[in-house]
Amino acid sequence: MGTKNRIALGIVTAMMIHHIRNFFDSKDLYITKRKEQLIRTKHPIESSYIINNKFQNVLDNTIATCQYGKDNNIKNFISFIDEQYILYGISNNGYYIHVTTLFYPSKKKLKQCRGNIKFFKSNFEIKFEKYIQ
């Protein structure tokens, strides 16, 4: 399941690679054990995706990318699973790509991303706009 300091989560989908070129050095996605512990304590419900090896489901249901924070080295993605949106970040440290955050955002947080969201398909945008209104 990875090396001594990281846990393998899944494989980045072709849709994500298509929309964000030249960012991913590999397709394998990891999380550091320290970051996994932080997510487990701060967001216990969302951490079930990591604990139960269901993070590939999050990757497969990614609908958009957005700029949530100020760090340009982190790409943030939005997934739609079980009628809820999940925001997660992926960072590329040169050796491997890893998850930086994972949480269920409020409508207010999603509205903050609204200005710079790039949807993978137009029907995702229609559903999203209905949700945040």
Amino acid identity of residue 116, one-letter, is: N
Tally the domains of the chain. Answer: 1
For residues 89 and 26, the model is more confident at 89
Per residue in 94-128, pLDDT (tens digit) is: 678 899 889 999 998 888 887 788 999 889 999 99
| Residue with the larger pLDDT of the pair 33 and 71 | 33
Q: Is residue 124 part of a domain?
A: yes
Q: Cα–Cα distance between 97 and 84 in angstroms, integer? A: 25
- Where does residue 76 rank: exposed (0-12), middle (13-18), buried (19+ CB within 10 A)? buried
Percent of the chain, pLDDT > 90? 35
Please provide the average confidence, as pLDDT, over all residues in the chain: 86
Q: Is residue 105 part of a domain?
A: yes
Q: Does residue 50 lie within any of the structural domains?
A: yes
CB atoms closer than 10 angstroms to residue 5: 9
% of the chain exceeding 70 in pLDDT: 95
- H helix or E strand, kind and range, residue 64: strand 62-66
Which of 35-44, 66-75, 85-94, 109-118 is most confident? 35-44
Range of the domain at 63: 6-132
1 belongs to a structural domain: no
What is the gyration radius of the CA atoms in the chain, in angstroms?
Answer: 14
